[in-house]
Amino acid sequence: MSDRYTDQPFLRFVDAWVLKVIGHLDPATEAWCRAMVPQLEQSFGLTGSWERIVEQQMKFGPELPAQIRKIWTDGKARFAEGNGVAPDPVQFAMIFVDRNFGRA
């Protein structure tokens, strides 16, 4: 685990949730998140998929995934145009989480 998650392990799930929403969650991280569902259920007293537990714990509304996808889609072209390279989805997810959820 990187330093980002040392003191806030749930942050890893929030970052992964955003990556999944924008279609860039890697299979290894998704498998890890799925494997951690029993621990999430025990920790938060919630049931369901890891995605649903994140949504419930963070109190995400049903409109949020579409809003995040729009921000990602609209911003990708502008970023590439301004920087000459495609944006990094992992960096996007981390920045989005930090700015909008205070590092969860």
| pLDDT tens readout for residues 25-56 | 999 999 999 999 999 999 999 999 999 999 99
pTM of the model: 0.92
Alpha-carbon gap, residue 16 to 33, rounded angstroms:
8
Work out the average pLDDT over 73-97: 93
Which pLDDT score is estimated for 103?
62
